């Protein structure tokens, strides 16, 4: 009875710590104290029994108590490293760190990922997930994707928790650690620091954040003592030890991407410079290079002397006047088509200007971006409207993430003016999708996330009707499972 109460209290503490990062330090100390107490009492009891000459009873008691009192150690030290997803699942129901409803699947997914997420294990774990996709479900699929070797998919899924209104603390804890380690691996320290406000603290995350602050040499970076303390409370000390030792005092700023050197006009000849800029932009696409190419070609093609010179050359190649005009026009169009392609592919801001090359590139790129978006939204709309067009829920979620990211990346170069034109299509297709998910499939979490995103975009473009509509849907409470 007393033990049950104590266990309950401990579990409450674990969750409180995960939910509120401000109380991380005091609650960690308290938890360490309680865990120590548990272990000390269990060990002394077992020792007493052993001394009393009842080794069998001692062992049985020890096993029972281990099952109840320290399942989290068994999970971390045995089930996950060995990839025993079933054992992990059953042990996790007694793990004080998480909710019995979601934690077992998450832990089991971690274990299965260890062995490469074999399909039998995936089926076993996903079969235990509720039909309604929630934060834990998304994280389970993310971990399994990582297990199967698709790190990008895993990153996208785990990060997508931020789109959910109530992802659940357990899911956030797991995602938080995974994303932190992934960012650390890529050296994307800035991501870690930016996520401090978003993700719950866990001992490992707490350590990595300290490292990131230090690597970026930010003023709020903690001192050496704090860092070592964080290391001490974090798991996997052996693995992190080497990294911590190797941490340099101050690393160069992390976000210096390879700055594209502006293309130097290699020749006084404007045409050669423009050809060079085109090749440079195609070789290493970047917004700067694409813009430079557009500017260089503007100098060539908008020059009033260009057309007569080209017509003369066409005549020299044996073309008659009609064909020459057409051919020279086609050559200009060919260059503009390549500039449009480069501008769209590198997501360069659309060039400003009402005449000549800039206007043509702008119009071409604009039409291409909008066409691409409209086709995608139409297709989505058609699928949602078709009976039997439904995908597995996690695939629907993946599609939402892809559509959302694709849309945001596509409209960015054109600013709010372009987005305003693109938004109605997104609104129609995704709006109906969200409604279908909510009403037909009872996928409230995903539906709510889509509505919230549409609401945010509608506000961005100032679409009052959509703001009102999605605002109202967004205010609907997600029903309890």
Partner 1 sequence: MAQQPLYAGFDLGTTNSAVAVFDGQHTQVIRNAAGGAVTPSVVRIDRAGRVTVGQRARRFLEDDPDNTATEWKRLMGTGKAVAFPAAGVSKRPEELSAEILKALRADVADQLGTAVERAVISVPALFELPQSAATSEAARLAGFARVELLQEPIASALAAGWRADDDGTASWLVYDLGGGTFDASLLETRDGLLRVVAHDGDNFLGGRDFDWAITEHLAAELARQTGVQLERKDPSHAGALRLLRLAAEDAKIELSRSPTAQVTLARPLVVGDRELDVDLALSRATVEALTAPLIERSLAVCLRLLAGNGLGPGRLARVVLVGGPTLSPGLRAQVQARLEATAADGLDPMTLVAQGAALYAATAGLDGRAAPTAAPQGKKVWLQYPPVSSDLTPHVVGRVVGADPPARLRLERADGGWQSPDAAIGPDGGFVTMVSLVPRAASTFRLVATAADGAAIAVDPATITIVAGLTIADPPLSRTIGVALASDHVQVYFERGAPLPTRRSFTHTTVETIAAGNPDSVLRIPIVQGEFEQAHLCRLVGTLEVRGVDVKTTVPTGATVEVTIELDRAGCLAARAHVPAIDQVFEQVAHLLVPDAAPAALDAALADQRRHLMQVRTDAFRHGLRELIDKLGAVEGLLASAERDIDAAHGGDADAGQKARRTLIEIDAVLAEADLARSWPELDGEAHEAAIIATGAVAAFGSDAERKLLDEVLAALARARRERDLAELGRQLRLVRRLSSAAWNRNPDAWTYHLEDAASAIHEARDLPAARKLVDAGRVAVAAGDTDAVRRAVKQLWALLPVDAAARKKGFDSGVR
Partner 2 sequence: MLGVAVTATTREIEREAQKLLAMLALGVGDAGTYPSAAGPRPRTAEAVRAAAAQLRDPRQRLLAELTAGAQPTAAPASAAPTAAAPGWADALRRTGWGPR
CA distances from 337 to 303, 355, 381 (A): 19, 16, 30
As measured in angstroms, the least distance from the Cβ of 391 to partner 1 is: 5
As measured in angstroms, the least distance from the Cβ of 284 to partner 2 is: 3
Quote the CA–CA distance of 269 and 134 in Å, as a whole number: 61
Listed in sequence order, the residues at least 6 apart from 7 whose beta carbon sits closer than 8 Å to its beta carbon are: 68, 69, 96
User: Which residue in 21, 114, 141, 470 binds partner 2 (CB under 8 A)?
Assistant: 114
Quote the CA–CA distance of 385 and 432 in Å, as a whole number: 8
Give residues 335-364 in contact with partner 1 (rule: CB under 8 A): 363
Q: For residues 149 and 223, which CB has a smaller minimum distance to partner 1 in the complex?
A: 149
Q: Which residues of 241-251 are buried (b: 16+ CB within 10 A; e: fewer)?
A: eeebeeeeeee
Total residues found in the chain within this entry: 481
Give residues 125-144 in contact with partner 2 (rule: CB under 8 A): 143
Give residues 396-435 in contact with partner 1 (rule: CB under 8 A): 398-399, 401-403, 405-406, 417, 420-421, 424, 435
Listed in sequence order, the residues at least 6 apart from 414 whose beta carbon sits closer than 8 Å to its beta carbon are: 349, 350, 366, 369
As measured in angstroms, the least distance from the Cβ of 174 to partner 2 is: 9
Quote the CA–CA distance of 445 and 102 in Å, as a whole number: 15
The structure tokens 């909510």 sit at: 438
463 binds partner 1 (CB under 8 A): yes
232 binds partner 2 (CB under 8 A): no
User: Which residue in 256, 259, 283, 386 binds partner 1 (CB under 8 A)?
Assistant: 386
What tokens does 371 get?
């066409």
Residue range at the interface with partner 1 (CB under 8 A); choices 146-154, 206-214, 243-251, 273-281: 146-154
As measured in angstroms, the least distance from the Cβ of 356 to partner 2 is: 16
Longest alpha-carbon distance in the chain: 113
Contact 170, 430 (CB under 8 A): no
User: Which residue in 116, 130, 308, 389 binds partner 2 (CB under 8 A)?
Assistant: 116
User: Which residue in 7, 25, 319, 337 binds partner 1 (CB under 8 A)?
Assistant: 319
* Size of site (CB under 8 A) for partner 2: 72
Give residues 365-384 in contact with partner 1 (rule: CB under 8 A): 367, 370-372, 374-376, 378-383
260 binds partner 2 (CB under 8 A): yes
313 contacts which partner out of partner 2, partner 1, none, CB within 5 to 8 A by kind?
A: partner 2
Q: For residues 146 and 470, which CB has a smaller minimum distance to partner 2 in the complex?
A: 146
367 contacts which partner out of partner 1, partner 2, none, CB within 5 to 8 A by kind?
A: partner 1
Per-residue interface string for the shown chain with partner 1, residues 6-35, x marking contact by CB under 8 A? ------------------------------
In 3-state terms, what secondary structure has residue 234? coil
Contact 206, 234 (CB under 8 A): yes
The structure tokens 């086709």 sit at: 375
Give residues 174-203 in contact with partner 2 (rule: CB under 8 A): 177-178, 181-182, 184-189
What tokens does 8 get?
């309950």
DSSP output for 275-325: HHHHHHHHHS--HHHHHHHHHHHHHHHTSTTHHHHHHHHHHHTT--HHHHH
Rg over CA atoms, the chain: 30
Question: How does DSSP classify residue 115?
Answer: T
User: Which residue in 74, 87, 117, 357 binds partner 2 (CB under 8 A)?
Assistant: 117
- Phi, psi for 362 (deg, rounded to 5): -60, -50
Residue range at the interface with partner 1 (CB under 8 A); choices 11-19, 50-58, 216-224, 393-401: 393-401
106 binds partner 2 (CB under 8 A): no
What tokens does 293 get?
């190419």
150 binds partner 1 (CB under 8 A): yes
Per-residue interface string for the shown chain with partner 2, residues 297-336, x marking contact by CB under 8 A? -------------x--xx--xxx---x---xx-xx--xx-
As measured in angstroms, the least distance from the Cβ of 144 to partner 2 is: 10
Cα torsion at 397, 400, 404, 405 (round to 10°)?
Answer: 50
What tokens does 267 get?
């020749």
As measured in angstroms, the least distance from the Cβ of 400 to partner 2 is: 24
Contact residues: partner 1, CB under 8 A? 145, 148, 150, 152-153, 318-323, 363, 367, 370-372, 374-376, 378-383, 385-386, 388, 391-392, 394-395, 398-399, 401-403, 405-406, 417, 420-421, 424, 435, 462-466, 468
């Amino acid at each position: 009875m007393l033990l049950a109460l104590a266990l309950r209290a401990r579990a409450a503490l674990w969750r409180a710590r995960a939910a509120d990062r401000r109380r991380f330090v005091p609650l960690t100390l308290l938890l360490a104290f309680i865990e120590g107490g548990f272990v000390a009492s269990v060990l002394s009891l077992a020792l007493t029994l052993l001394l009393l000459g009842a080794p069998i009873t001692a062992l049985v008691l020890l096993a029972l108590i281990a099952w109840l009192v320290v399942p989290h150690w068994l999970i971390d030290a045995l089930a996950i490293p060995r990839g025993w997803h079933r054992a992990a699942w059953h042990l996790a129901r007694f793990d004080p760190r998480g909710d019995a409803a979601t934690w077992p699947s998450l832990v089991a997914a971690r274990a299965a990922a260890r062995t490469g997420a074999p399909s039998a294990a995936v089926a076993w774990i996903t079969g235990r997930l509720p039909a309604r996709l929630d934060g834990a479900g998304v994280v389970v699929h993310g971990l399994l994707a990582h297990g199967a070797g698709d790190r990008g998919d895993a990153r996208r899924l785990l990060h997508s928790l931020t789109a959910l209104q109530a992802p659940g603390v357990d899911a956030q804890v797991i995602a938080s650690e995974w994303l932190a380690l992934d960012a650390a691996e890529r050296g994307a320290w800035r991501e870690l620091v930016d996520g401090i406000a978003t993700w719950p603290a866990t001992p490992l995350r707490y350590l990595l954040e300290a490292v990131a602050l230090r690597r970026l040499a930010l003023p709020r970076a903690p001192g050496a003592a704090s860092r070592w303390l964080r290391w001490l409370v974090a798991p996997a000390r052996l693995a992190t030890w080497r990294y911590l030792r190797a941490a340099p005092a101050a690393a160069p700023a992390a976000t210096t991407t390879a700055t594209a050197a502006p293309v130097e006009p290699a020749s006084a000849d404007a045409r050669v410079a423009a050809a060079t800029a085109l090749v440079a932009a195609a070789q290493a696409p970047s917004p700067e290079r694409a813009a430079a190419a557009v500017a260089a070609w503007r100098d060539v093609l908008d020059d009033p002397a260009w057309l007569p010179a080209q017509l003369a050359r066409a005549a020299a190649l044996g073309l008659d006047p009609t064909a020459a005009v057409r051919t020279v026009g086609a050559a200009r169009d060919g260059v503009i088509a390549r500039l449009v392609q480069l501008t769209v592919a590198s997501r360069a801001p659309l060039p400003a200007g009402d005449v000549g090359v800039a206007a043509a590139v702008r119009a071409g790129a604009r039409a291409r971006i909008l066409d691409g978006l409209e086709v995608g939204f139409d297709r989505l709309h058609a699928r949602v409207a078709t009976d039997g067009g439904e995908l597995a829920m996690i695939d629907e979620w993946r599609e939402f993430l892809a559509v959302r990211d694709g849309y945001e990346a596509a409209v960015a170069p054109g600013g709010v003016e372009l987005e305003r034109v693109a938004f109605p299509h997104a609104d129609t297709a995704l709006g109906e999708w969200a409604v279908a998910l909510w009403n037909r499939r009872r996928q409230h979490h995903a539906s709510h996330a889509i509505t919230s995103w549409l609401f945010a975009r509608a506000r961005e473009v100032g679409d009052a009707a959509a703001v009102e509509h999605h605002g109202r849907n967004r205010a609907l409470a997600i029903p309890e499972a």
